[in-house]
Structure 1
Amino acid sequence: MEALLEQIESYRQEMSSYQVANAENLEAFRIKFLGTKGIVKNVMAEMKNVPSERKKEFGQILNAFKIFAEERFETLKESLTSTSQQTYPDIDWSLPGDPIPVGTRHPLSIVRNQMASIFKRLGFAIAEGPEMEDDWHNFTALNLPENHPARDMQDTFYLNQNPDYLLRTHTSSVQARIMEKQKPPIRIICPGRVYRNETISARAHCFFHQLEGLYVDEHVSFADLKQTLYFFVQEMFGKDVKLRFRPSYFPFTEPSAEMDISCTVCGGHGCSLCKYTGWVEILGCGMVHPKMLDNFNIDSNKFTGFAFGMGVERICQLKFRVNDLRLYSQNDVRFLRQFTGAV
């Protein structure tokens, strides 16, 4: 038993003289003395060899040895923490701080928010719907017949057939869902992403963003439509921008029209953007087709309405002169940094 006492004293001296310079040294101390197979564990195991009449005496000695090892470990740990704390030289607090990069919204988000803000001032609420749609809400309810070209798989991303599910080709499907649940008066705008099976190029993409509007109530006329869009154009592009309506055709509106504005780049004199006509087409519009109202049990003899739809990318092109649609989805930081001041 005397040999065990001498061994314990030797271990005490070793622990007392042990120094740590880094975390690896501290971990080595823990493993050697306090680990599962460490010295303290082995010394404590010697208790079984102590005679019964001396167990109480040696129990106190071994317990004190264990406490000493644990306290020495904590002391070394604290000394390592204090020495590892970085000491800073004198700092001149009058110096300017390091610049922090400022993020910005995506240009499409900037323009979409501006467009939505203008229509919200006219009393339009924002409505949203699913990007995966069924045939009824995307086509049939909007007076698009079965043989319409838009239903061709070359133009539309179909996810399933019989029943047909697809990626919505326009946000008009949101209008259909609102009319299905809500009775007039209805005054909404429907911004969102849409998908069409097109070859990606500078002028076309397989997905883009739309903002469509719908107003259904009693005594709504084409004059209301014109005045609403006239207000939007002036707020979006300025008071000097002119606009014109051209007869057109859409299955869900009658009568229908395309709306052009005077080119914001050349001021209507003619340039490559407006193809030297002085006019740029920005949206389609018209009075809601009576059959579309009837599809949702809205009395077409009592209620009328108008609808319009435009591409957010087209408006963004006119606002920021971005001529390549691919730039919007490439996440090129060099391109996005140009809009930091446009938030």
Structure 2
Amino acid sequence: MKPNLYQGDLVIVMDKEPANIQAGYQDGDIVIIKGPEYHIDQGAEPDFWDLPNNTQIIHRVIDKKLINGTWYFLTKGDNNALIDGSIRAISKSEDYSIFEYNESNGIYIPQNAILGVVIFKIPFIGYLQEYGLLISIILIIFILVYQLISKKWQVHLFRNKRGEKKLIKSKSYLIFSGFWLIVLFLQIILMMNPCILRVKNNSMSPILNQNDLVISTSKDPSEILIGDSVIIKSPQYFYEKGFPPILWSNFPNSSYLIHSVVDKMNVNGSWYFMTKGGNSGYEFDGMYRTVSSSRGYLLFEYNKSNIIYLPQEAILGVVNGKIPFIGFWKDNFPFSLSIIITLQIVIVIIKKTDYRIELVKRETTN
């Protein structure tokens, strides 16, 4: 739903009469759909949903119609090239299948499949829900540490004396200013270092998950092993071989891919690599080829013999490590800015107050 909604946004939803739900490519209401099962039941190809049943979907209503007193809605993601439910299987077997994308095949879902309409969003707060378990663990550890400390120490609030007021404030200012500079420095490193990248989706789950931060290193092509997770420079290598770009609409030519090496070969001194997403619905990268296409229509095939080997220059590096959860920090400067502003507010509060907190050792009683 970019650029209107991003992962990590918390959305506020309200009920709305089906007749009052607005439809339109630009100004249609954004709705919460119960899940992909209705589309699949009506003939949409499940291979291109890659979502379990009951997974809620946030998409925009682009058209609506009234049939026998019931409203039906056609939906689409703002950042998706495909209208929901518009891919159908014409013929399908284990080794070869033919699929058709037709804008006129979009599936209208009934009003009871709509859970509500998005009326407001709060950026980043959604991560609290997504990483609630991690945050809970951190809070539990903090409480346990506090309980252990409180057995021997007491927390006291003191009003600073005139003579020491300036010194206390200077120390606090230096501490929080140091945090401020660290956050800014980390953001600059994340933005400027091409070897640190964010995992953009779950195609490599469970090895790599969306919003993991990966650290890559250059590696001689001959030393890249089968099973290594590699950074692919651009999906253009696949598009040039006939892979339908509409299937990877979230990956423009300038975007990198992170997939695993499943095979390699040496041809006349140059290395070539076959890749695959660990959790991808596609068996191997590039097994879909365009048969014919026109505006709003695409006929394409899946063929196990359609194997694309990437040249060694398409590999930017090999994933050498990961830091879970914090990948969103790299591409979200406003998040870093919010931390910096918060620290600055703390600094101002410290400068404007006359209090300090100290730990005082408990006196033991016999």
Structure (1/2) with the larger strand percentage = 2
Larger RCO: Structure 1 or Structure 2 (Cα < 8 Å, ≥ 6 residues apart)? 2
Task: Give the TM-score normalised by the residue count of structure 1.
Answer: 0.21
Structure (1/2) with the larger helix percentage = 1
